């Protein structure tokens, strides 16, 4: 196993901004071989689980919540690109969800677990509320190809501190929902089901729904607001228009997409995905203020996709495209600049 | 300039745990020459200042506070070991204080600037309060050789979330106070002056004062509680007993100590310091619960000092020594483990 392979799987900008401690990242960087990756992060997760359990026993609830969340995040990175060993990946995925579920009551603000029944399946999500009297505006957070509702804790904290409630959920192909429903061509039906639910919550102001989607979730967010005009505002953070440059995407992205369709043949998966993941002319249908962020150095959804986004956005006055010249995929390498900006933009649109 | 020299000045565990974004650390790691260090961090600080000012103009106060604090922290690292160019160091120190002063009203919780007049000089500090009705217990935070009241923002957040107010201040030789008063043999008189002030604050419960000192501040904290029994609890985080192993300390630590005495000759500074910084038998005088944390791999205050601490602490039932076998100076390389533990210990002692 070459260092290059380990470097490819390591993504320090993303990992550290989402909450991985430097020490854990640094130890991972020094692994001899990428085959140690899953075990390393699982061991790390187990240690945090133990710390979390000790803290619970001692009544140290703030630390308990944070350590169990660290356990969840460590399990996340154990399995996030582990498509070649599905049994391990699935056990890592389940452990990740379980750790977050245990952390949730102790997070500040509390993450309230919600299970929305939709067409015989469950859409799992977490609602977090800002301090103070509601009803609050609420931002629906959509994960990506392998990112899920458990990863946005730090991002949610930024929202909550600025007066925005958050609802992060797993849709088709994501996190817990993957076990029941693989990638679908109609993600917007799931985000609309989330709004149907949030409309029943008196703490939330249903005139002030926002959505923010990350990576593949950026694609889903654009699709969602184009087809459900209850969303008052949208952020697409590192998305794409369609799969027409499928052949140029990195192998691990291919593998991930194919895995999450549940289709064994990569060729068939590719055909399914090119139909399922295509915005077509949907950007023209967007009627809410929409902020699209791309990194000029994105190696996953490349300049080709940014150009496709640019030309569609150019025709729609509701949409603005920001391309960070130094940014990588989702501009994770400059997270501390772009993340507060996106949250401020949402907050300026929804809170005031 | 060798990589070794840059590696010596870089301290990722500390820097990242105190709030430096990974991107900024990583760019610093890739500097060609340590001579670029001051300029690099100053440029970084200037960018954050600009972001902070923009955010203020736009009314984005949470981001404004955080970005101005990032500016402060970047100025901190610009100058922290820059003893060989005093004019630059002093300008960096002043800019650091100025940026934090501007950030303070926008931090959550607000950092209230306090200026305590003491013997014709000003002891500058910041008071932060937890949410909810007081009076609150309060932890007095003491910085070290080159660490000051502006650096503990993340640590303070951990305290405040657990119901502890914090008061971070600069004493003799530290931060803003350095310009008026160099290192003194009686630091405890300054921490007692802080308590005199805090006793006048109705939001603070003067029966529940704690103190936590970091590095040289750990030495000061032990000295302070030995000589002022108003402190109900103490944490010494990476301290030492005396200067008897002065000759074995790293050059940059020597240089720092000498600089902060204001004495030009290093030999004379050393003599002054061995008199001024010596706990003698003071640990025997401690009557409050005291938590002492040392890292077994500390290269600044070495095993020799840990052994001195151990033998004094062994004679005093109020004190407990914890030595982390994998820990470096202040266990910064395992910050995300030891910091919540120290704060939980303070909180368990003072909040309940």
Among B71, B86, B68, B11, residue whose Cα is nearest residue B260:
B86
Last residue in a domain, options A93, A108, A123: A108
- pLDDT (tens digit per residue) in A48-84: 999 999 999 999 999 999 999 999 999 999 999 999 9
Is the model's pTM score more than 0.90?
yes
B329 is catalytic: yes
Structure tokens at A15: 């990992």
Q: Assess whether A100 and A114 both reside in one domain.
A: no
Q: Assess whether B77 and B189 both reside in one domain.
A: no
Collect all residues with Cβ–Cβ distance below 8 Å to A109 and sequence separation of at least 6: A128, A129, A130, A131, A160
Q: Assess whether B151 and B174 both reside in one domain.
A: yes
Helix (H) or strand (E) holding A124: strand A121-128
What does the pLDDT read at residue A18?
96
* Average pLDDT, rounded, for chain B: 95
Over the Cα atoms of chain A, what is R_g? Answer: 19
Please count the residues of chain B: 352
CATH number of the CATH domain containing B70: 1.20.1440.110
Helix (H) or strand (E) holding A212: strand A204-214
- Please compute the mean of the pLDDT values over residues B341-350 and round it to a whole number: 97
Q: Assess whether A85 and A170 both reside in one domain.
A: no
Tell me which residue in B13, B60, B348 faces A344 most closely, judged by beta carbons. B60
Is A17 in Cβ contact with B344 (below 8 Å)?
Answer: no
Select the more confidently predicted residue: A193 or B10: A193
Q: Is the pLDDT of residue A40 over 80?
A: yes
C-alpha B144/C-alpha A331 separation (Å) is 36
Burial class (CB in 10 A: 0-12, 13-18, 19+), B110: middle
- Please compute the mean of the pLDDT values over residues A279-302 and round it to a whole number: 96
- pLDDT (tens digit per residue) in B80-125: 999 999 999 999 999 999 999 999 999 999 999 999 999 999 999 9
Among A159, A147, A150, A297, residue whose Cα is nearest residue A214:
A147
Domain carrying residue A45: 1-108
Contact assessment for residue A128 and residue A107, using Cβ atoms and an 8 Å cutoff: yes
Q: Assess whether B124 and B80 both reside in one domain.
A: no
Percent of chain B with pLDDT strictly greater than 90: 91
Q: Is the pLDDT of residue A179 over 70?
A: yes
Is A340 in Cβ contact with B67 (below 8 Å)?
Answer: yes
C-alpha B313/C-alpha B214 separation (Å) is 18
Beta-strand relationship, B165-169 and B121-128: antiparallel
Q: What is the torsion angle, in degrees rounded to the nearest 10, for the CA atoms of residue B39, residue B43, residue B49 and residue B51?
A: -160
- pLDDT (tens digit per residue) in B268-286: 999 999 999 999 999 999 9
What does the pLDDT read at residue B1?
41
A2 is catalytic: no
Q: How confident is the model at residue A1 (pLDDT cuts 50, 70, 90)?
A: very low
Chain A residues closer than 8 Å to B162 by CB: 62
Q: How confident is the model at residue A9 (pLDDT cuts 50, 70, 90)?
A: confident
C-alpha A251/C-alpha A266 separation (Å) is 11
- Tell me what ipTM this predicted complex has: 0.95
Chain B residues closer than 8 Å to A23 by CB: 13, 333-336
Is A333 in Cβ contact with B161 (below 8 Å)?
Answer: no
Query: Which range (A11-20, A258-267, B232-241) has the least confidence?
Result: A258-267
B154 is catalytic: no
Q: Is the pLDDT of residue B4 over 90?
A: no
What does the pLDDT read at residue A71?
98
What does the pLDDT read at residue A138?
98
Q: Assess whether B345 and B202 both reside in one domain.
A: yes
Select the more confidently predicted residue: B44 or A352: B44
Last residue in a domain, options B75, B107, B139: B107
What does the pLDDT read at residue B150?
98
C-alpha A142/C-alpha A219 separation (Å) is 10
Numbered residues of chain B with Cβ closer than 8 Å to any chain A Cβ: 12-13, 16-17, 21-23, 26, 51, 55, 58-60, 62-63, 66-67, 70, 108, 131, 158, 161-162, 333-337, 340-341, 343-344, 347-348
User: Number of structural domains, chain A?
Assistant: 2
Q: Assess whether B76 and B210 both reside in one domain.
A: no
Q: Assess whether A240 and A165 both reside in one domain.
A: yes
The number of C-beta contacts closer than 8 angstroms across A and B is 77
- pLDDT (tens digit per residue) in A199-215: 999 999 999 999 999 99
Terminal Cα-to-Cα distance of chain A (whole angstroms): 53
- pLDDT (tens digit per residue) in B39-65: 999 999 999 999 999 999 999 999 999
Q: Assess whether B327 and B209 both reside in one domain.
A: yes
C-alpha B12/C-alpha B20 separation (Å) is 9
Sheet with B121-128, edge to edge strand ranges: B112-118, B121-128, B165-169, B136-142, B204-214, B231-237, B290-295, B319-324
Q: Residue holding tokens 């150019």? A: A314
Q: Assess whether A277 and A300 both reside in one domain.
A: yes
- Please compute the mean of the pLDDT values over residues A287-293 and round it to a whole number: 98
Q: Assess whether B97 and B161 both reside in one domain.
A: no
Is A340 in Cβ contact with B66 (below 8 Å)?
Answer: yes
CATH number of the CATH domain containing B244: 3.40.50.1820
Q: Assess whether B209 and B308 both reside in one domain.
A: yes
Last residue in a domain, options A82, A108, A134: A108
Contact assessment for residue B221 and residue B234, using Cβ atoms and an 8 Å cutoff: yes
Phi, psi of B125 (to 5 degrees): -155, 175
Helix (H) or strand (E) holding A96: helix A86-103
A136 is catalytic: no
């Amino acid at each position: 196993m070459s260092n290059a392979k380990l470097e490819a799987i390591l993504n320090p900008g993303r990992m550290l901004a989402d909450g991985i401690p430097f020490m854990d990242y640094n130890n991972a960087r020094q692994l001899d071989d990428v085959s140690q990756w899953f075990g390393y992060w699982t061991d790390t997760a187990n240690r945090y689980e133990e710390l979390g359990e000790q803290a619970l026993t001692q009544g140290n609830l703030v630390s308990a919540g944070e350590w169990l969340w660290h356990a969840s995040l460590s399990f996340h990175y154990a399995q996030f690109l582990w498509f070649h060993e599905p049994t391990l990946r699935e056990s890592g995925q389940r452990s990740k969800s379980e750790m977050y579920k245990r952390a949730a009551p102790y997070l500040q603000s509390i993450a309230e677990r919600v299970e929305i029944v939709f067409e015989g399946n469950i859409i799992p999500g977490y609602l977090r509320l800002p301090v103070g009297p509601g009803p609050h505006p609420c931002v629906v957070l959509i994960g990506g190809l392998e990112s899920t509702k458990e990863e946005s804790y730090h991002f949610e904290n930024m929202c909550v501190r600025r007066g925005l409630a958050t609802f992060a959920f797993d849709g088709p192909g994501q996190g817990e929902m993957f076990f029941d429903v693989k990638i679908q061509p109609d993600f917007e039906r799931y985000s609309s089901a989330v709004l149907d639910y949030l409309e029943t919550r008196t703490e939330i102001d249903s005139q002030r729904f926002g959505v923010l989607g990350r990576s593949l979730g950026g694609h889903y967010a654009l699709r969602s607001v184009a087809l459900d005009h209850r969303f008052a505002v949208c952020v697409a953070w590192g998305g794409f228009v369609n799969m027409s440059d499928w052949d140029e995407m990195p192998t691990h992205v291919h593998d991930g997409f194919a895995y999450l369709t549940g289709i064994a043949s990569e060729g068939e998966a590719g055909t399914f995905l090119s139909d399922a993941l295509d915005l077509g002319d949907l950007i023209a249908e967007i009627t809410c203020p929409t902020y699209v962020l791309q990194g000029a150095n994105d190696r996953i959804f490349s300049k080709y996709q940014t150009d496709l986004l640019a030309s569609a956005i150019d025709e729609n006055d509701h949409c603005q495209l920001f391309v960070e010249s130094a940014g990588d995929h989702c501009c994770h390498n400059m997270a501390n600049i772009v993340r507060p900006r996106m949250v401020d933009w949402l907050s300026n649109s929804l809170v005031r």
